[in-house]
Amino acid sequence: MEYRTLGNTDLQLSAITYGAFAIGGNMWGGNEKKDSIAAVQASLDNGVTSIDTAPFYGFGLSEELIGAAIKGRDRSKVQLLTKFGLVWDGSNQAKGEYFFDASENGKTIPVYKLASKANIIRELEASLKRLGTDYIDLLQLHWPDATTPVEETMEALNTLISQGKIRAAGVSNYDLALMKAAGKTIRLASNQLAYSMLNRSIEKDIVPYAIEHQIGIIAYSPLERGLLTGKYFRDAALKADDHRNGYFGQFSADKVKTFLDSITPLAESKKASLSQLVLRWTTLQPGITIVLAGARNAAQAEQNAQAMNLELKAEELGFINKELEKVYRETAV
């Protein structure tokens, strides 16, 4: 495994970081708790020392499962990345910005964005309890909240850093203008953004800005929620309540399949899976600090970690990029 410094901080994070959205279950067709805990532990056992989660993932369940998985381990050797800013329990919704309707067990649950100082403190304390720790390595605003001034949010994060409750502060899904606004109050450690072979829009302005200002980029959905593994072109089926039934529709399936078919021989020549090849390509892109990869069981987690063992020569990267160029313009979002 390779470990990288996050932005201007002293945090050393694993280049492949465990992404814990799916183990929360909601929007992903459920989960098996035992398998989820095993996936986190297998990640740690294979050099993936960093775990990214959020209170919203499973309405607290993801954080609880991670807390169970790391219990008894040396906390100093695990980096916990979590978020704040999405509320669903009704206590603060009137103060926030309506986002969307989630569901759990057939029940509709309105989700709001709220990044006020009071809510940050409330959410952090709940996350610390669920994770079974007394500090968070990286606390991130999950989504921008138009109802709260950027300065208020960033000042609260500065306070939490000074109190030792968090080691560093970042944002997620921030555009360039918001990054610049935040930078007037805090020195951001990172911005977590959607980035994949099929979604490279941040390369235009956000990545150059991040490189110039020493801000880490955390790439989420590098496998496009499983689409780039290739298995959904074979025999994998999605459950009815899996959000990917609609998500995959934004891409040209035929073109994505053609692209994956073109790079499959390269993966096979290296005794690697398509997902490993895609993950490794992503870690090698300019400005990308770490890449999130989810896993529902130990086998998937081990495979993700081993992606970093894959060596790609300049000409091989060139080949992938050439094949990708044939489909990217029509599949990018």
Strand order in the sheet with 107-113: 86-87, 107-113, 97-104
Contact partners, residue 9, CB within 8 Å, separation at least 6? 167, 168, 189, 216
Core vs surface per residue 23-53: b (16+ CB within 10 A) or e: bbbbbbbebeeebbbbbbbbbbebbbbbbbb
In angstroms, the CA 7 to CA 5 distance is: 6
> Known catalytic residues?
57
Q: Is 98 helix (H, G, I), strand (E, B) or coil?
A: strand
Sign of the CA dihedral with 63 first, then 140, 162, and 209 last: positive
Characterise 332 by phi-psi region: left (phi > 0), alpha (psi -120 to 50), beta (else).
beta
User: Tokens standing for 25?
Assistant: 């279950």
